[in-house]
Amino acid sequence: MSIQFPKSEYPRVVIISCGFGGLQLAKSLNGAPFQVVMLDKNNYHTFQPLLYQVATSGLEADSIAYPIRKIFKGQKNFHFRWCEVKSLVASDNKIITNIGEVAYDYLVMATGTTTNFFGNSEFEQKAMPMKSVTEALNLRSLILQNFEKALLANTDEERQALMNFVVVGGGPTGVELAGALSELKNHVLPNDYPELDLKQMRVILVESGNELLQAFNQTNQQRAKTYLEELGAEVRLQKGVSKFDGRTIEFKDGEKLLSKNLIWGAGIKGVLIDGFDETVINPRKRLLVNDYCQINNQTNIFAIGDVACMVQPNYPNGHPQVAPVAIQMGELVAQNLIRQKEGKSLQSFNYNDKGSMATVGRNRAVVEAGKIHFGGWLGWLVWMSLHLMLLVGFRNRIVVFINWLWNYLSYDRNIRLIIRPFTPKEEN
Protein backbone atom coordinates (compact mmCIF):
# COMPACT_ATOMS: atom_id res chain seq x y z
CA MET A 1 0.00 0.00 0.00
CA SER A 2 1.36 3.40 -0.98
CA ILE A 3 0.92 6.45 1.22
CA GLN A 4 -1.07 9.07 -0.63
CA PHE A 5 0.04 12.67 -1.00
CA PRO A 6 -1.48 15.55 -2.96
CA LYS A 7 -0.57 15.39 -6.65
CA SER A 8 2.31 17.65 -7.59
CA GLU A 9 4.11 18.60 -10.78
CA TYR A 10 7.33 18.87 -8.78
CA PRO A 11 9.91 16.16 -7.98
CA ARG A 12 9.46 14.66 -4.52
CA VAL A 13 12.22 15.00 -1.91
CA VAL A 14 11.74 12.58 0.98
CA ILE A 15 13.57 13.53 4.19
CA ILE A 16 13.85 10.89 6.89
CA SER A 17 13.88 12.52 10.35
CA CYS A 18 13.60 16.10 11.57
CA GLY A 19 16.90 16.53 13.34
CA PHE A 20 19.07 19.59 12.80
CA GLY A 21 20.01 18.54 9.26
CA GLY A 22 16.54 17.50 8.10
CA LEU A 23 15.01 20.61 9.61
CA GLN A 24 17.45 22.92 7.84
CA LEU A 25 17.07 21.08 4.53
CA ALA A 26 13.27 21.33 4.56
CA LYS A 27 13.41 25.03 5.47
CA SER A 28 15.96 25.71 2.75
CA LEU A 29 13.66 24.13 0.14
CA ASN A 30 10.81 26.46 1.06
CA GLY A 31 9.65 28.07 -2.19
CA ALA A 32 11.80 25.80 -4.36
CA PRO A 33 10.18 23.65 -7.10
CA PHE A 34 10.02 20.45 -5.05
CA GLN A 35 7.42 18.52 -3.10
CA VAL A 36 8.99 17.99 0.32
CA VAL A 37 7.89 14.96 2.35
CA MET A 38 9.24 14.53 5.87
CA LEU A 39 8.95 11.25 7.78
CA ASP A 40 9.73 10.88 11.49
CA LYS A 41 8.87 8.45 14.27
CA ASN A 42 8.25 11.48 16.50
CA ASN A 43 5.96 14.39 15.67
CA TYR A 44 8.44 16.88 17.11
CA HIS A 45 11.95 18.22 16.64
CA THR A 46 14.24 17.72 19.66
CA PHE A 47 16.95 20.17 20.70
CA GLN A 48 19.33 17.44 21.81
CA PRO A 49 22.06 19.63 23.39
CA LEU A 50 19.71 20.35 26.31
CA LEU A 51 18.53 16.80 26.98
CA TYR A 52 20.81 16.61 30.01
CA GLN A 53 18.89 19.50 31.58
CA VAL A 54 15.63 17.59 31.16
CA ALA A 55 17.28 14.58 32.82
CA THR A 56 18.45 16.68 35.78
CA SER A 57 15.16 18.58 36.37
CA GLY A 58 16.35 21.89 34.92
CA LEU A 59 13.91 21.98 32.01
CA GLU A 60 10.67 20.32 31.08
CA ALA A 61 10.68 18.19 27.94
CA ASP A 62 8.26 20.38 25.99
CA SER A 63 10.64 23.35 26.29
CA ILE A 64 13.24 21.63 24.09
CA ALA A 65 10.82 19.92 21.70
CA TYR A 66 8.68 21.60 19.04
CA PRO A 67 5.90 20.17 16.84
CA ILE A 68 7.05 19.49 13.30
CA ARG A 69 3.72 20.52 11.81
CA LYS A 70 3.92 23.88 13.60
CA ILE A 71 7.48 24.50 12.38
CA PHE A 72 6.38 24.16 8.77
CA LYS A 73 2.92 25.65 9.09
CA GLY A 74 2.16 27.55 5.92
CA GLN A 75 5.08 26.12 3.92
CA LYS A 76 3.69 25.13 0.53
CA ASN A 77 4.36 21.70 -0.93
CA PHE A 78 5.46 20.36 2.45
CA HIS A 79 3.91 17.20 3.93
CA PHE A 80 4.68 15.38 7.17
CA ARG A 81 3.83 11.80 8.08
CA TRP A 82 4.31 10.29 11.52
CA CYS A 83 5.75 6.83 10.93
CA GLU A 84 8.73 4.55 11.34
CA VAL A 85 10.83 3.94 8.25
CA LYS A 86 11.82 0.30 7.88
CA SER A 87 13.78 -0.20 4.66
CA LEU A 88 14.95 1.16 1.33
CA VAL A 89 14.25 -0.30 -2.10
CA ALA A 90 16.65 1.77 -4.18
CA SER A 91 15.93 -0.09 -7.41
CA ASP A 92 12.31 1.10 -7.26
CA ASN A 93 12.98 4.52 -5.73
CA LYS A 94 10.81 3.81 -2.71
CA ILE A 95 11.01 3.26 1.02
CA ILE A 96 8.94 0.97 3.23
CA THR A 97 7.38 2.33 6.44
CA ASN A 98 5.04 0.89 9.05
CA ILE A 99 2.14 2.74 7.39
CA GLY A 100 2.94 1.97 3.76
CA GLU A 101 5.31 2.69 0.89
CA VAL A 102 6.60 6.11 -0.12
CA ALA A 103 8.00 6.78 -3.58
CA TYR A 104 10.71 9.39 -4.01
CA ASP A 105 12.65 11.24 -6.65
CA TYR A 106 15.28 12.24 -4.11
CA LEU A 107 15.87 10.65 -0.73
CA VAL A 108 17.79 12.24 2.17
CA MET A 109 18.86 10.23 5.20
CA ALA A 110 19.00 12.61 8.17
CA THR A 111 18.42 9.98 10.85
CA GLY A 112 21.19 10.99 13.26
CA THR A 113 22.64 8.66 15.86
CA THR A 114 21.78 6.53 18.83
CA THR A 115 23.79 5.24 21.79
CA ASN A 116 26.60 2.83 20.95
CA PHE A 117 27.17 0.16 23.59
CA PHE A 118 29.85 -1.47 21.40
CA GLY A 119 28.10 -4.84 21.43
CA ASN A 120 27.92 -5.16 25.22
CA SER A 121 24.42 -6.48 25.89
CA GLU A 122 24.82 -6.07 29.66
CA PHE A 123 25.35 -2.31 29.32
CA GLU A 124 22.56 -2.08 26.76
CA GLN A 125 20.13 -3.74 29.15
CA LYS A 126 21.10 -2.03 32.41
CA ALA A 127 22.88 1.27 31.74
CA MET A 128 20.95 4.51 31.12
CA PRO A 129 21.35 6.18 27.71
CA MET A 130 20.33 9.76 26.99
CA LYS A 131 19.80 10.36 23.28
CA SER A 132 16.05 11.11 23.19
CA VAL A 133 13.37 12.93 25.16
CA THR A 134 12.01 9.59 26.39
CA GLU A 135 15.43 8.49 27.63
CA ALA A 136 16.03 11.83 29.36
CA LEU A 137 12.67 11.55 31.16
CA ASN A 138 13.52 7.98 32.16
CA LEU A 139 16.79 9.17 33.64
CA ARG A 140 15.06 11.98 35.54
CA SER A 141 12.61 9.50 37.02
CA LEU A 142 15.38 7.06 37.94
CA ILE A 143 17.40 9.74 39.75
CA LEU A 144 14.42 10.87 41.85
CA GLN A 145 13.11 7.34 42.43
CA ASN A 146 16.47 6.18 43.73
CA PHE A 147 16.57 8.97 46.28
CA GLU A 148 13.08 8.02 47.43
CA LYS A 149 14.34 4.44 47.76
CA ALA A 150 17.44 5.62 49.63
CA LEU A 151 15.16 6.96 52.37
CA LEU A 152 13.79 3.44 52.82
CA ALA A 153 17.07 1.53 52.51
CA ASN A 154 17.75 -0.90 55.35
CA THR A 155 21.53 -0.88 55.06
CA ASP A 156 24.23 1.71 54.41
CA GLU A 157 25.46 -0.44 51.54
CA GLU A 158 22.09 -0.35 49.79
CA ARG A 159 21.75 3.38 50.39
CA GLN A 160 25.19 4.06 48.94
CA ALA A 161 24.41 2.04 45.80
CA LEU A 162 21.36 4.24 45.23
CA MET A 163 23.34 7.46 45.75
CA ASN A 164 26.40 6.71 43.59
CA PHE A 165 26.16 8.06 40.03
CA VAL A 166 28.69 6.98 37.42
CA VAL A 167 28.76 8.80 34.07
CA VAL A 168 30.73 7.00 31.35
CA GLY A 169 32.25 9.17 28.64
CA GLY A 170 34.23 12.40 28.92
CA GLY A 171 32.78 14.18 25.91
CA PRO A 172 30.44 17.20 26.12
CA THR A 173 27.44 15.06 27.12
CA GLY A 174 29.26 13.36 29.98
CA VAL A 175 30.90 16.56 31.22
CA GLU A 176 27.66 18.56 31.16
CA LEU A 177 25.67 15.79 32.82
CA ALA A 178 28.26 15.27 35.57
CA GLY A 179 28.25 19.00 36.24
CA ALA A 180 24.45 19.14 36.44
CA LEU A 181 24.30 16.14 38.81
CA SER A 182 26.91 17.79 41.03
CA GLU A 183 24.82 20.95 41.21
CA LEU A 184 21.78 18.87 42.19
CA LYS A 185 23.88 17.39 44.98
CA ASN A 186 25.13 20.77 46.17
CA HIS A 187 22.04 22.96 45.94
CA VAL A 188 18.80 21.04 45.41
CA LEU A 189 18.69 17.52 46.84
CA PRO A 190 19.80 18.51 50.39
CA ASN A 191 16.59 20.55 50.70
CA ASP A 192 14.41 17.74 49.35
CA TYR A 193 16.01 14.97 51.40
CA PRO A 194 17.17 16.44 54.74
CA GLU A 195 17.06 12.93 56.24
CA LEU A 196 19.85 11.82 53.93
CA ASP A 197 23.50 12.77 54.24
CA LEU A 198 24.04 14.15 50.72
CA LYS A 199 27.78 14.30 51.35
CA GLN A 200 27.66 10.57 50.71
CA MET A 201 26.33 11.08 47.19
CA ARG A 202 29.09 10.56 44.64
CA VAL A 203 29.20 11.78 41.05
CA ILE A 204 31.96 9.98 39.16
CA LEU A 205 32.88 10.79 35.55
CA VAL A 206 34.78 7.95 33.87
CA GLU A 207 36.81 8.46 30.70
CA SER A 208 38.97 5.80 29.09
CA GLY A 209 41.21 8.39 27.42
CA ASN A 210 43.83 10.71 28.86
CA GLU A 211 41.71 13.87 28.83
CA LEU A 212 38.15 15.13 28.95
CA LEU A 213 36.70 16.85 25.87
CA GLN A 214 39.34 15.35 23.60
CA ALA A 215 38.41 17.54 20.62
CA PHE A 216 39.08 20.69 22.67
CA ASN A 217 42.22 22.71 23.33
CA GLN A 218 44.38 21.35 26.16
CA THR A 219 43.76 24.45 28.28
CA ASN A 220 39.99 23.96 28.05
CA GLN A 221 40.36 20.27 28.79
CA GLN A 222 42.06 21.13 32.05
CA ARG A 223 39.52 23.87 32.77
CA ALA A 224 36.64 21.39 32.42
CA LYS A 225 38.34 18.95 34.79
CA THR A 226 38.99 21.70 37.33
CA TYR A 227 35.40 22.96 37.13
CA LEU A 228 34.02 19.48 37.78
CA GLU A 229 36.32 18.93 40.73
CA GLU A 230 35.31 22.32 42.16
CA LEU A 231 31.70 21.12 42.04
CA GLY A 232 32.64 17.96 43.90
CA ALA A 233 32.61 15.49 41.02
CA GLU A 234 35.27 12.79 40.81
CA VAL A 235 37.05 12.58 37.46
CA ARG A 236 38.62 9.22 36.61
CA LEU A 237 40.79 9.30 33.48
CA GLN A 238 42.24 6.25 31.73
CA LYS A 239 39.57 4.14 33.35
CA GLY A 240 37.12 1.86 31.58
CA VAL A 241 34.03 -0.03 32.68
CA SER A 242 33.95 -3.78 32.03
CA LYS A 243 30.81 -5.07 33.78
CA PHE A 244 27.56 -3.85 35.32
CA ASP A 245 24.95 -6.14 36.83
CA GLY A 246 22.54 -3.39 37.82
CA ARG A 247 24.01 -2.99 41.31
CA THR A 248 27.80 -3.29 41.04
CA ILE A 249 30.08 -1.63 38.48
CA GLU A 250 33.35 -3.41 37.73
CA PHE A 251 36.13 -1.41 36.12
CA LYS A 252 38.74 -2.81 33.77
CA ASP A 253 41.45 -2.44 36.42
CA GLY A 254 39.49 -4.73 38.77
CA GLU A 255 38.00 -2.05 41.04
CA LYS A 256 34.35 -2.54 41.99
CA LEU A 257 31.83 0.12 43.01
CA LEU A 258 28.31 -0.21 44.33
CA SER A 259 25.97 1.80 42.13
CA LYS A 260 22.52 1.46 40.62
CA ASN A 261 23.10 4.46 38.38
CA LEU A 262 25.32 3.87 35.36
CA ILE A 263 24.75 6.57 32.73
CA TRP A 264 26.22 5.78 29.32
CA GLY A 265 27.58 8.59 27.16
CA ALA A 266 30.65 6.86 25.79
CA GLY A 267 29.75 6.44 22.14
CA ILE A 268 27.24 6.86 19.34
CA LYS A 269 26.41 5.07 16.11
CA GLY A 270 24.33 5.95 13.09
CA VAL A 271 20.64 5.10 12.87
CA LEU A 272 20.17 3.15 9.64
CA ILE A 273 17.37 1.42 7.79
CA ASP A 274 17.59 -1.87 5.91
CA GLY A 275 18.43 -1.84 2.21
CA PHE A 276 21.85 -0.18 2.09
CA ASP A 277 24.79 -2.15 0.75
CA GLU A 278 27.38 -2.98 3.40
CA THR A 279 30.06 -1.29 1.28
CA VAL A 280 28.58 2.16 2.04
CA ILE A 281 28.39 1.61 5.83
CA ASN A 282 31.43 2.20 8.04
CA PRO A 283 32.08 0.44 11.39
CA ARG A 284 30.26 3.23 13.30
CA LYS A 285 27.13 2.70 11.19
CA ARG A 286 27.65 5.91 9.24
CA LEU A 287 26.86 6.11 5.54
CA LEU A 288 29.82 6.89 3.31
CA VAL A 289 29.10 9.90 1.12
CA ASN A 290 30.99 11.93 -1.47
CA ASP A 291 31.70 15.66 -1.31
CA TYR A 292 28.09 16.38 -2.34
CA CYS A 293 26.58 14.19 0.42
CA GLN A 294 25.53 11.59 -2.17
CA ILE A 295 25.69 7.97 -1.04
CA ASN A 296 27.94 5.77 -3.13
CA ASN A 297 27.92 8.44 -5.86
CA GLN A 298 24.20 7.96 -6.47
CA THR A 299 22.59 11.08 -7.81
CA ASN A 300 19.32 10.85 -5.88
CA ILE A 301 20.17 9.40 -2.43
CA PHE A 302 21.87 11.61 0.14
CA ALA A 303 22.93 11.43 3.77
CA ILE A 304 23.54 14.43 6.02
CA GLY A 305 24.48 15.13 9.61
CA ASP A 306 25.61 12.56 12.15
CA VAL A 307 24.68 9.55 10.00
CA ALA A 308 26.89 10.74 7.12
CA CYS A 309 30.62 10.08 6.89
CA MET A 310 32.37 12.33 4.37
CA VAL A 311 36.09 11.64 4.22
CA GLN A 312 38.08 14.77 3.38
CA PRO A 313 41.77 15.66 3.91
CA ASN A 314 41.04 17.60 7.10
CA TYR A 315 38.52 15.00 8.28
CA PRO A 316 39.93 11.51 7.50
CA ASN A 317 37.37 9.90 9.83
CA GLY A 318 34.46 12.08 8.78
CA HIS A 319 33.25 15.36 10.23
CA PRO A 320 32.43 15.79 13.93
CA GLN A 321 28.92 14.65 14.79
CA VAL A 322 27.62 18.02 15.90
CA ALA A 323 24.67 20.22 14.96
CA PRO A 324 26.60 22.79 12.85
CA VAL A 325 27.79 20.06 10.48
CA ALA A 326 24.24 18.77 10.02
CA ILE A 327 22.86 22.27 9.45
CA GLN A 328 25.50 23.15 6.87
CA MET A 329 25.04 19.82 5.07
CA GLY A 330 21.29 20.43 4.96
CA GLU A 331 21.85 23.83 3.37
CA LEU A 332 24.27 22.36 0.83
CA VAL A 333 21.95 19.54 -0.26
CA ALA A 334 19.08 22.02 -0.71
CA GLN A 335 21.27 24.23 -2.88
CA ASN A 336 22.52 21.27 -4.90
CA LEU A 337 19.03 19.89 -5.48
CA ILE A 338 18.06 23.22 -6.94
CA ARG A 339 21.28 23.43 -8.99
CA GLN A 340 20.84 19.85 -10.23
CA LYS A 341 17.28 20.62 -11.37
CA GLU A 342 18.56 23.68 -13.21
CA GLY A 343 21.29 21.64 -14.90
CA LYS A 344 24.12 23.36 -13.05
CA SER A 345 27.18 21.72 -11.54
CA LEU A 346 27.05 20.70 -7.89
CA GLN A 347 28.94 22.45 -5.10
CA SER A 348 31.13 20.41 -2.75
CA PHE A 349 30.83 20.56 1.03
CA ASN A 350 33.29 22.74 2.92
CA TYR A 351 32.65 22.74 6.66
CA ASN A 352 32.90 26.13 8.34
CA ASP A 353 33.92 25.24 11.88
CA LYS A 354 32.76 28.11 14.07
CA GLY A 355 33.99 26.49 17.26
CA SER A 356 32.96 24.24 20.14
CA MET A 357 31.65 24.73 23.64
CA ALA A 358 30.52 22.84 26.71
CA THR A 359 29.05 23.99 30.01
CA VAL A 360 30.08 22.61 33.39
CA GLY A 361 27.43 24.08 35.63
CA ARG A 362 26.67 27.55 36.93
CA ASN A 363 29.16 30.22 35.75
CA ARG A 364 31.40 27.54 34.27
CA ALA A 365 31.82 26.73 30.59
CA VAL A 366 34.56 26.28 28.01
CA VAL A 367 34.43 27.88 24.57
CA GLU A 368 36.79 27.85 21.64
CA ALA A 369 36.76 29.19 18.10
CA GLY A 370 39.96 28.69 16.12
CA LYS A 371 42.86 29.91 18.25
CA ILE A 372 40.55 31.70 20.67
CA HIS A 373 39.63 29.76 23.78
CA PHE A 374 38.24 30.89 27.11
CA GLY A 375 36.03 29.72 29.94
CA GLY A 376 34.41 30.77 33.19
CA TRP A 377 31.48 33.16 33.44
CA LEU A 378 32.02 34.66 29.98
CA GLY A 379 32.09 31.21 28.40
CA TRP A 380 28.91 30.28 30.28
CA LEU A 381 27.18 33.45 29.03
CA VAL A 382 28.21 32.72 25.42
CA TRP A 383 27.04 29.11 25.78
CA MET A 384 23.61 30.18 27.09
CA SER A 385 23.13 32.87 24.43
CA LEU A 386 23.94 30.57 21.53
CA HIS A 387 21.69 27.78 22.78
CA LEU A 388 18.80 30.18 23.24
CA MET A 389 19.23 31.44 19.68
CA LEU A 390 19.31 27.91 18.24
CA LEU A 391 16.15 26.71 20.01
CA VAL A 392 13.18 26.29 17.70
CA GLY A 393 10.17 28.42 18.56
CA PHE A 394 9.83 31.77 20.34
CA ARG A 395 7.85 30.21 23.19
CA ASN A 396 10.60 27.68 23.86
CA ARG A 397 13.23 30.42 24.00
CA ILE A 398 11.18 32.39 26.51
CA VAL A 399 10.40 29.33 28.66
CA VAL A 400 14.02 28.19 28.73
CA PHE A 401 15.27 31.70 29.52
CA ILE A 402 12.81 32.07 32.41
CA ASN A 403 13.76 28.64 33.77
CA TRP A 404 17.46 29.44 33.56
CA LEU A 405 16.94 32.83 35.23
CA TRP A 406 14.93 31.28 38.05
CA ASN A 407 17.43 28.48 38.55
CA TYR A 408 20.27 31.00 38.64
CA LEU A 409 18.63 33.29 41.16
CA SER A 410 17.19 30.60 43.43
CA TYR A 411 19.77 27.79 43.10
CA ASP A 412 16.70 25.60 42.57
CA ARG A 413 15.19 23.32 39.91
CA ASN A 414 11.43 23.09 40.08
CA ILE A 415 10.83 20.20 37.69
CA ARG A 416 11.63 17.37 40.09
CA LEU A 417 8.66 15.32 38.94
CA ILE A 418 8.25 11.57 38.59
CA ILE A 419 5.53 11.84 35.96
CA ARG A 420 6.07 8.36 34.61
CA PRO A 421 7.91 6.01 36.99
CA PHE A 422 10.78 4.18 35.36
CA THR A 423 11.25 0.45 35.91
CA PRO A 424 14.77 -0.90 35.27
CA LYS A 425 14.78 -3.78 32.80
CA GLU A 426 15.95 -6.33 35.38
CA GLU A 427 12.82 -5.54 37.42
CA ASN A 428 10.35 -5.96 34.53
Contact call for residues 261 and 166 (beta carbons, < 8 A): yes
Contact call for residues 255 and 248 (beta carbons, < 8 A): no
CA distances to 265, 269, 284, 314 from 318, rounded to whole Å, are 20, 13, 11, 9
DSSP-derived 3-state class of residue 86: strand
- Listing DSSP states for 209-272 in one string gives SSSSSTTS-HHHHHHHHHHHHHHT-EEEES--EEEE-SSEEEETTS-EEE-SEEEE-S-EEE--
**Residue count of the chain:** 428
Give the other-Cβ count within 10 Å of 312's Cβ.
Answer: 13
Rounded to the nearest angstrom, the gap between the alpha carbon of residue 221 and the centroid of all alpha carbons in its chain is: 21
Beta-strand ranges (E) seen in 273-395 are: 287-289, 301-303, 308-310, 356-359, 365-369, 372-375
- Burial (CB < 10 A; 0-12, 13-18, 19+), residue 217, is middle
Spatial CB neighbours of 64, under 8 Å, sequence gap ≥ 6: 46, 47, 50, 51, 53, 54, 133, 391, 396, 400
Q: Is 183 a catalytic residue?
A: no
- Rounded CA separation 274/280 (Å): 12
DSSP state of 342: T
Which residue among 60, 176, 207, 368 is the active-site one?
176
- The answer for 420, left when phi > 0, alpha when psi is -120 to 50, beta otherwise, is beta
- Rounded CA separation 125/246 (Å): 9
DSSP-derived 3-state class of residue 368: strand
**What is the C-alpha end-to-end distance of the chain, expressed in Å?**
37
- Beta pairing partners, 85: 97
- Listing DSSP states for 53-65 in one string gives HHHTTSS-GGGSE
- Rounded CA separation 115/129 (Å): 6
Give the other-Cβ count within 10 Å of 86's Cβ.
Answer: 12
Among 197, 101, 109, CA closest to 147: 197
Catalytic residue annotation? 176
